[in-house]
Amino acid sequence: MVRVGRYYEIYRLEVENFPEFTRIDEYLYDRFPKYTLEAIQECIKSSKILINGEHVPLNHELTSGDRITALLDKDPYTFDIVPQNIPLEKVYEDNTLLVVNKPAGMVVHPGHNNETGTLVNSLTFHYDDLPSNHNGSDKPGIVHRIDKDTSGLLVIAKTDRAMESLASQFFDHSIERTYYALVWGNLEKDSGTIEWNVGRSHDNKRLRVVYEDGMDGKPAITHYKVIRRYGYLTLVRCNLETGRTHQIRVHMKHLGHTLFGDVVYGGNHILVQNGNQAYYDLIHKCLKIMPRQALHAKSLGFEHPANKKFLYFEQALPDDFQKVIQLWEAFIQTHKQEG
């Protein structure tokens, strides 16, 4: 990077190690998260971003070896990470890595409107020299993310070697990740595989949508298996081959089974009707107990960067999720007795 005056910064990048069919705007947005996608797109339109010295359209797909020159406005949201003494629930730790159980409601790393209270704020308080990923020093130790209102397991790199090894495992999809999700409706099949591209919505850039024709978005694969049926809701286990943003939430919604409580994708409304008042009372009670998407990163398995042994961790459902499940277990038992 070369700074230019008070208002612009020039970035020069060579494209390497990225998924196929990656658009230039998505590539830069991933690497410069402090800039909005809209800001990056405006720079592309105004020829402030060139590929191999030439102007390209927004939907231009990159190839390995492409050279990017980007003249970007100085980031108005630049800030220093504030170390905060926020407790970490450590599941495992050694000299190389750390596995934590992230609570729902905690953002993984700082960003606009989320400068404090994040996992990174906590990590920088407890650790002095965590490595940085390709996105820069605002995400020390961070190899992957889960959404703010998703709970569960995350692995943190404590050394450069661990960062490189874990990032490589995520890139080649060798990491084992299992999520538990409570979804609306009664799934037709006991198990299945969803293979639909996932990408940004053209109407709302903050949302992800499915592109079944594969002409947009990125390849995404989710394997699911029914754990428990409640008639109106279903508890499913999801295994990820890929890790697209909102992947499970978007795949299940497109399948017709939006995650229970998912405010962003409409799961916080009653999507399955029933004339029984006790049912509606239960729904409202559950949404009050767990006012978030019912999604938990339950297990995580990977090769240790140093000794190459396979590590596997499981984390029980958090209290709010467990309470909702208990209420539904009681409801279906009562319903069976009345039937």
CA-to-CA distance for 16 and 142, rounded, in angstroms? Answer: 20
User: b/e string for 74-100 if b means 16 or more Cβ within 10 A?
Assistant: eeeeeeebeeeeeebeebeeeebbbbb
Left (φ > 0), alpha (ψ -120 to 50) or beta: where does 117 sit?
left
CA-to-CA distance for 73 and 322, rounded, in angstroms? Answer: 47
Is 147 one of the annotated active-site residues of the chain?
Answer: yes
SS3 54: strand
* Token pair 């279906």 in the structure block, residue: 332
Tokens matching residue 166: 């874990």
Q: Per the residue annotation, which of 66, 138, 147, 262 is the catalytic one? A: 147
11's enclosing H/E stretch is strand 8-14
CA-to-CA distance for 45 and 57, rounded, in angstroms? Answer: 7
- Please provide the DSSP assignment of 205-252 as one string: TTSEEEETTSSSSB--EEEEEEEEE-SSEEEEEEEESS--TTHHHHHH
Radius of gyration of the chain (CA): 21
155: closest CA among 147, 173, 167? 167
DSSP state of 268: T
- Catalogue the active-site residues: 147
